[in-house]
Structures are given as structure tokens and as C-alpha cells.
Structure 1
Amino acid sequence: MSISSPCLRLPRLIVLLLIALARWAEALICHCEQCANRTCMTDGLCLVNVLIQDGKVTHNSLCIADSERVPRDRPFMCFSTSTNGIYHNVECCQTDFCNKKLPAPSTSPSPRPPTNLGPVELAAVIAGPVCLVCILLMLVLYICHNRTVIHHRVPNDEDPSLDRPFISEGTTLKDLIYDMTTSGSGSDNGTWTQLWLVSDYHEHGSLFDYLNRYTVTVEGMLKLSLSTASGLAHLHMEIVGTQGKPAIAHRDLKSKNILVKKNGTCCIADLGLAVRHDSATDTIDIAPNHRVGTKRYMAPEVLDDSINMKHFESFKRADIYAMGLVFWEIARRCSIGGIHEDYQLPYYDLVPSDPSVEEMKKVVCEQKLRPNIPNRWQSCEALRVMAKIMRECWYANGAARLTALRIKKTLSQLSQQEGLKM
């Protein structure tokens, strides 16, 4: 047995040797930068890698074992990658020293697949879903709002008129005004009240608009001026009786707050800043801030704060000063023999388009300037009288100014002389 045992082991060694030789014959020989003799053997693949980092390029060749081929048909290790500015450009092959003969991959980053979407198409792709979501959200909110309104709407069986239109078909404005002003039985249901402010419609608009568009004759000038003076005299006057009214000061009289009727006469509008005088208690209902109105039309005593706020006559005198400026605007547009001035606001040549109180105070109170009276007005009796009235409206001392009633009488006499019928 001891003699024969080496003989039995010899064939086994020969078999193992043959298997090893067979495997060596099937092995793949690759170029390897970091291996002994710069070669390596593998049962897998040869690989060449180009590393690009911070502009530095490094080439590397090595072997990949068959066990590392995952997945086997397209191993991950053979794919180029790019992460945080580090690029790995990789190529794999399966013949002896193929990675040495293989051209090195490009050192530039692998190009991204081109996209067929332009800037407009890309914006549309992004904006489309966003718009759709917004529309759906608005639709949901609208439906929820309608359901809330319907839920809170309480039917009123006691007052079926609430379900009918406020103004029935075929109702005229005249009928509507008559119904609202009737005091007979059944005119008020006692549950609610509506206050209506009804005003006439004047197609010419304000005096400011009218004078910008048209020139006027002497007759037209007197109509505009006399009707304005009559309106202001009516405001300033206290009327006692069942149909009476308190004395009222306008405090913001100007051409933009005077309307021109179809017949060429004026009516004073916009009493938002007006104050009234209670003669029984001798008091004035006025807000604490007394410097109100349009700065261009403010009287000297308003500009320099010397106006007596407890004296109602002070407010009436300030109105007279402003009316004198309105007369100046009207008279400039009076055409005599085809000659007239362009429309301008008072002090147009002395202050900017939107003057401050200080700018107006400097011109009116300190320099004591007033709008210029053209010399041509002296050749026409009507314009000469108008100029005289203006000067007497512009006195720095309010007590020296004419009253609205005095101006009305003077213009009435002038109208009679001119043969004007009002």
C-alpha cells in the first residue's frame, strides 16, 4: 500500500494541472497601469477609465473580474458617470490587451441627450399645469361661496316685494320721484328707509368745461355771471318760514363747482364743504380744520389764517372773493369784435398748476397781486362794469368787499341796460 499510494496521487495531480492550464488558456490578459509588469489576467473584462476632476485628467487601465459584471450584459462599471464636477469616462472590451490598444475616451463630459423643447414650449409645459390648478381652485372657491350665500339666504314671506325689481318695467323717472315724495297712506312700509339725492342733468357740464370749449357773447357773459351771483345770494340769505332755509356759505366756490344749464345760466353745485349758520344760537356747524377748499381760490384771510371762525360773515366774504375770480374766468372768454382771451385759471401766470398754500399766500397776501385785467375791457361797458365788480370782490379786507346781493343787483341793472331778459 505504501508503495502504490504515490502512484495513485500522480494522476490526480496531472488532472489538476491540466485544469489549471485550461483555465490559464481561457483567461483574458489586460493592460494594467498599477499591476506588476503592467499586465493582469481576468475572467471578465478589460477597462480603461479617464478621470476628470478640477481640470486635471488621469488615465487608468485595469481588469474587471467576471463576478463584478453586474448586470452581466451591461455592467455598471462600464458606464460613464458625472457627480459634483467629477467625470468618469469609461470604455470596456473583451480581447487581450484591448484596453491598451483602445483609444482613450474623450476628456470632455459626456454630452446630455438633446431636448426637442424650446424656451416657449418649456414655459408652456411648466405654466400649463399651474394655470389648470389655479382655475380648479377658483372654481372650487366659487362653488363654495355660492353654497354659503344660498345657505344663509332667509326667505321673506312677509315682504314679497323684495323678490321683485325695485323699479318696475315702464316706470319713468318722473313717476319714481313722485312716488318717493308722496306722503299719503302706504308710502312707507316702516321697515327700512332709503335716501336718494336726485339732481338735474346738465349736458354742458361745469363752467370750467364750458369756458374751455366755447367763447361767450356779452349777453352770455351776463347770463352766466348774474345767475351765479343770484345762486350765491340765495345761499347766503336766511329765509324764515315753513319753506325757509338757514344761511349757507359754500367755502369751495370755483368754476369746476358751477354747472351750466341748457339755457346758458348757472347753478352752484358741490356743497360738500358748506357750513350753515343757526341764527337762533348764533353758531356755525364747521369742522375743526378751517383751511379747506381749493388753494387757488382761497381768500387772503384764509391763506394767512386771520379769518374769524366764529363769525359767519367771514365765510360769506371768502365766497365773494372766489366769485370775483370766477367772473374773471368768464369775462376773458367774452368775444368783442372777434377778440377774446384764451381760457386760463386765476393766477395761471403767477403760480404752478397745483400751487401750495405758501405759494398762494406769497402772491395774494405778501405781494398783494390779483389777476390781470386786460386794457380792452375798458372799451366795452359790460366788461368795464365786470372789471369794477371783480376789483371790489378782491379787497384784502373782507369787510370792504361787496355782498352777493349787491352784486346781483348791479348785474341785474347792467342786464337791463343791455336789453337782456333773464
Structure 2
Amino acid sequence: MASMFTFTTKCKYMYLIAFLLGLYTCVDGLTCYCSGGACPDDRENGTCVTRGYCFRTIEEVWDIEDKEYALESTYGCFSEEQGLLSCNAYRIQSARKNVSCCVNSNNCNKDIQFPEFPSITDPSDTVDVSQVLLALPYIFIILLLLLLIFLYKWYNNYLHKQRGQPLVPKNDTLKDLIDQSSGSGSGLPLLVQRTIAKQLQISDCVGKGRYGEVWLAHWRGEKVAVKTFFTLEEQSWFRETEIYQTVLMRHDNILGFIAADIKGTGSWTQMLLITDYHEHGSLHDYLSINVLDHSSLFLICWSIASGIAHLHTEIFGTKGKQAIAHRDIKSRNILVKRNGECAIADFGLAVRYDSLSGDIDIAPNTRVGTRRYMAPEVLDETLNTSSFEAFKMADMYSVGLVLWEICRRCLTGGKVSTAEDYALPYHDVVPSDPDFEDMRLAICVKKLRPVIPTRWENDSVLLAMSKIMIECWHGNPGVRLTALRVKKTMSKINIDNVIKIV
């Protein structure tokens, strides 16, 4: 009984002390620690007085500089009304912001402790594991497909190596050649080349030879020339297109190439070569009906020499041009342009030379050149086919004969101008369609050359041109003029003492 009396007495004293403290607070107020915006404006010593509650809040705030969450505490005073609302909040770990209040002593909010916050990461950094698990089967399927493709290609390459066959057939058809590359950029884009035959409106036949026909056609409102090859001349068509697509082949005095195509049905095939159209036609036809003055003579001869020089010259560079020999130069294979210049055409027999490898690219072809214009070394079969210079010198022999045809049509004599009738070289010593033996006998055995008319001796221009052609058709290939030397020699010729091309 005595012990229970003692415990009861102690409880009465504790209640009394609490009552007195509450009474003291109600009379003088409770002093609380404050910080930041929670301090009243008239308090500068970090304390505030209230008749309500002291509080402490703790909040996790995202730090932009450190890229992480940081704890931020606030201390201050609540009124009785604020305390009734805020101080009843529970302190839980999952809350972003927690509030705790006290009234048991002055500055009691300094000692308030909170449970530790769990680490919180930026939501953008979290990865949804379920989404990864859903994507795994698709990733596996994609990797499996890539592996199968790799194995298929590897096995295909292995089979080709075992059979000793190249993966890309070389020069099977011109279609294959065109599909692989456009060459130098000569002509139209390849997609257009493969469809141009369907867009042509062919009208008139403007020429016909042993190996094909030339037609006038319209394409996209422009006139073009369409050369059609006979069925047996596929090699000539293939070779000519291949030469036209040589890198850096384009030149003012080379016939402009547009496209090549094949069209036909299952029973027949037509091979087409589309080029620029020149209404004056070939030099042969032009000289047959026109005479020349000194200026037009010079322009024609100069442009022919320029075109041949471009063919014969090798251009070095990342995408250089191989040297090319024509092998069938004649007046019918030279076209006259509207501006009076000429353009070299018909490359069905041309050969290419690569100086780096030393290879001479002679395409297989049953076609032969024009016998009337063949050089002596070709007629007697002494041409050195392993030397590209020999092919170039054979070209220059033919150039000399063409210059002779041109000069015959140049007027001289002042007021009473005269010019010879047009004639082919050796028209007076061989038949109209000579065979090899006819030409060999005249050129190699009798060593005949075209006759130089006496009137040329009285004309400075024709006299100078006659010296050039004589050196071009010399019997010894080693002493013939090159195309560049012909151009340089012609640059020294005065035309009527007024015009001089340098």
C-alpha cells in the first residue's frame, strides 16, 4: 500500500509540472528555432515565439548541378490552427516531405529526428525490366537472321571459289557492262539508257553501210542519230559503246554519245547506239556537194587533228583516260558539225592502251577496216601488234589521205576560183571496191600515193597542207607526223594572211 501511495504521489507531481509548463507557455509563449523563410521579418537571431507549436520539416529537393536529390530542412513556428492541420501528419519513409512538431520546451524543434529516406533516382534513369524481357525474343530473331544471311553469303562465295568462277561475269553482254558502271559519265544516266529505246520516235534513214544503218529520230523534242547494227555485228556494237564510255572520252571533236540499248522480241534483237545528230552528215557527203575556202578548210583539218590527238593521248590521274587508236579513219567516219568543225565517229575497231600495265586491249571482231585507207604495214601484214605506237601511226596514214580529200575541194585562183572534183584516195589506180591484193600491189609494191595537183604549188595554204599529208602517209611509220605535231604545224599556217590559229 505504501508503494502504491508513493507512485500515485509522483504522478500527481508530474501532471502538476506539465500543467505549470503549459501555463507558462500560454502566458509567455513558446520560443522556437527558425531558419530561412520561416523566420519573421523582425527576428534576426534565428528564433520565433508562438503560442502553438515548434516544427521542423525535411524535404528531398533535386539538385540540378549535382544531378541528384539532396535533403533540405526548415525550422519555425506554427500557430495553433496551423499545428492542428500540419502537426498531425505522419512521418513515413516513402513521403517526399515530412513535418514534425513539439511543444515540450523552447527550441525543442532543433532536436527533432526523422527516419532515413530511401535513395531516390531520376525516373528517366530507371529501366523497365518487363519491357526488356519482352524485347529479348525479337532481338534473338534478328540476330539469328543476320547470322543466316552471313552464312549464306559465305557459302556462296566458297562455291564460286571451288568452281573457279568470278562472282561478276566479265563482259558477257553490254547490258552487264552498263549495269555495273557508267564509266566516265559520258552519255545519260544508266537508268535512262536502259529505257531510251522505248521513247525514241524514229523517222528517216539517213545512212547505210556494211555493218548497219543510221536513222534520224526524235527524243524529248531533240533530234538524235540512232545507229542500228545488224545482228552479226554485236561485237562492233559492244566495242563502240565500251569505247564511248571510256573515262574522259568526251571532246568537241568526238561524236557525242547519248545512250546504248537493246530492243526486240523473242525472235529478233536490235542493237542501238544513240548519238548527237549532225545534219551535214559525213565528211564524204559534205565534200561531194560543197567547196571550201581557206578558213573552212583550215577549221575542218584542225578539228580532225584535234579529235585524233585527244584519242591518241593518255590522260593520267585518279580517273584518267587510256590512249585509244581508231583503226578505221576515213571520210565516211567523220561527221561535219553545224559550226564547220568535224567530229570523229565509229569506234567499232578501236583499241585501248594502258601504259601502267602495258596491255593493248584489242577486242575480238570479225570486222576489218576499210582497205582503201589501210596503211602499208597493215596491207603487207608487218604491223607490230604488240606496240601501241604502231596503231597510232597507222591512224596517221589514214589522216593523211583524208586531208588530201579535203584539200582537193578548196578553191584557189582569185576571181576565177577552181577546185578539183571530189574523189576518193587512189580512185585512179584501184577499182571502186578494191580487195587486199589490189591495195597491196598499189601501195606496198608500186609505192603509189595520191597525186598532188599542180595548182596547190601556187597556194601557200594548200602547199603547206600538202607537206603535212605527205609526211603523214610516208611508207616508214616511224617518220610519220603525230596528231599533236600536225596541230602544231598547222598553227604556223597563215590563212589569207589574216587568220592564224595558235
Secondary structure of 1:222 counterpart = helix
- Provide the secondary structure at the position in 2 that maps to 1:323: helix
Q: Does 1:349 align with 2:425?
A: no
Alignment match, 1:56: none
> Is 1:406 aligned with 2:406?
no
The correspondence of residues 37-52 of structure 1 with structure 2, limited to 5 A, is none
Structure 1 residues 195 and 359, CA gap change in structure 2 (3 angstroms)? closer
Superposition CA RMSD, Å: 2.8
1:353-387 alpha-carbon deviations (Å, 9 max, x no partner): 00011110001000011000011101111100110
Change (3 A) 1:288 1:203: closer
1:322 counterpart (378, 392, 398)? 398
Aligned to 2:158: none
User: How many Å separate the matches in 2 of 1:408 and 1:291?
Assistant: 31
1:68 aligned partner: none
Structure 2 counterpart of 1:419, one-letter code: I
**Distance in 1 between residues matched to 2:221 and 2:316, nearest whole Å:** 31
Q: 1:373 to 1:285 in 2, by over 3 A?
A: same
Instruction: State the secondary structure of the residue aligned to 1:413.
Output: coil
Is 1:281 paired with 2:357? yes
**Which residue identity does 1:315 align to in structure 2?**
F
Q: 2:457 aligns with which of 378, 383, 390?
A: 378
Deviation at 1:415, TM superposition (A): 5.3
Matched residue type, 1:172: R
Partner amino acid for 2:296?
Answer: G
Which residue is 1:60 aligned to? none
Q: Name the residue aligned to 1:394.
A: 473
Matching residue within 172, 190, 193 for 2:220: 172
Q: Distance in 2 between matches of 1:243 and 1:285?
A: 18
* Structure 2: distance between partners of 1:383 and 1:311: 33
Contact 1:290 1:309 in 2 (8 A): no
Aligned equivalent of 2:295: 219
Distance 2:199 2:366 in 1: 42
Report if aligned partners of 1:251, 1:292 keep a CA contact under 8 Å in 2: no
- Greater strand content: 2
Secondary structure at 1:199 match in 2: strand
Is the counterpart of residue 360 in structure 1 residue 439 in structure 2? yes
C-alpha displacement of 1:172: 3.4
What one-letter code is carried by the residue in structure 1 that aligns with 2:348? G
The 2-side partners of 1:211 and 1:406 are apart by: 25
After the TM superposition, which residues 142-221 of structure 1 pair with which residues of structure 2 at under 5 Å, given as runs? 172=220, 195=260, 197-221=273-297
Task: Tell me the distance in 2 between the aligned counterparts of 1:195 and 1:296.
Answer: 30
Partner deviation per Cα, 1:66-109 (whole Å, 9 max, x = no partner): xxxxxxxxxxxxxxxxxxxxxxxxxxxxxxxxxxxxxxxxxxxx
Question: Would the alpha carbon gap of residues 306 and 421 (structure 1) be closer, same or farther in structure 2, given more than 3 Å must change?
Answer: closer
Other structure's SS at 1:248 match: strand
Partner residue, 2:173: none
Q: Deviations over 1:253-309 (max 9, x none)?
A: 000000000011111000110000011210111146799300000000000000000
Deviations along 1:30-75, one digit per CA (max 9) or x if unpaired, are xxxxxxxxxxxxxxxxxxxxxxxxxxxxxxxxxxxxxxxxxxxxxx
Q: Hey, what's the Cα distance between the residues in 1 that align with 2:281 and 2:418?
A: 25
Quote the residue 2:387 is aligned against: 311
Cα deviation for residue 327 of structure 1 reads 0.2
User: Which residue of structure 2 lines up, in the alignment, with residue 135 of structure 1?
Assistant: none
Taking the TM superposition and a 5 Å limit, the aligned residue runs for 1:15-26 are none
- Which range moved further: 393-402 or 278-287? 278-287
Partner of residue 249, structure 1: 325
Distance 1:234 1:301, change over 3 A: same
Q: How far apart are residue 413 of structure 1 and its match?
A: 2.4
Tell me the residue number matched to 2:311. 235
Residues 299 and 321 of structure 1 are in contact (CA less than 8 Å); yes or no, is this contact kept in structure 2? yes
Q: How much has 1:412 moved relative to structure 2?
A: 2.2
Alpha-carbon offset, residue 198 of structure 1: 4.0
Q: Among 295, 302, 310, which residue is 2:378 paired with?
A: 302
Tell me which residue corresponds to 1:129.
none
Superposed CA offset, 1:101-151 (max 9, x none): xxxxxxxxxxxxxxxxxxxxxxxxxxxxxxxxxxxxxxxxxxxxxxxxxxx
TM-score normalised per structure 1: 0.53
Distance 1:366 1:167 in 2: 53
Bigger RCO (CA 8 Å, 6+ sep): 1
How far is the alpha carbon of 1:241 from its aligned partner? 2.2
Q: Deviations over 1:319-375 (max 9, x none)?
A: 000000000000000011311000000000000000011110001000011000011
Code of the aligned partner of 1:393 = C
The Cα shift of 1:201 comes to 1.1
- Taking the aligned partners of 1:202 and 1:413, their CA distance within structure 2 comes to 30
Q: What CA distance in whole angstroms lies between the structure 2 residues aligned with 1:413 and 1:243?
A: 34
Partner of 1:75: none
1:202 offset after TM fit, Å? 0.6
For residues 306 and 291 of structure 1, the distance between their equivalents in structure 2, rounded to whole angstroms, comes to: 19
Alignment of 1:52-63 (within 5 A): none
The change in CA–CA distance for 1:371 and 1:418 in structure 2 (over 3 A counts) is farther
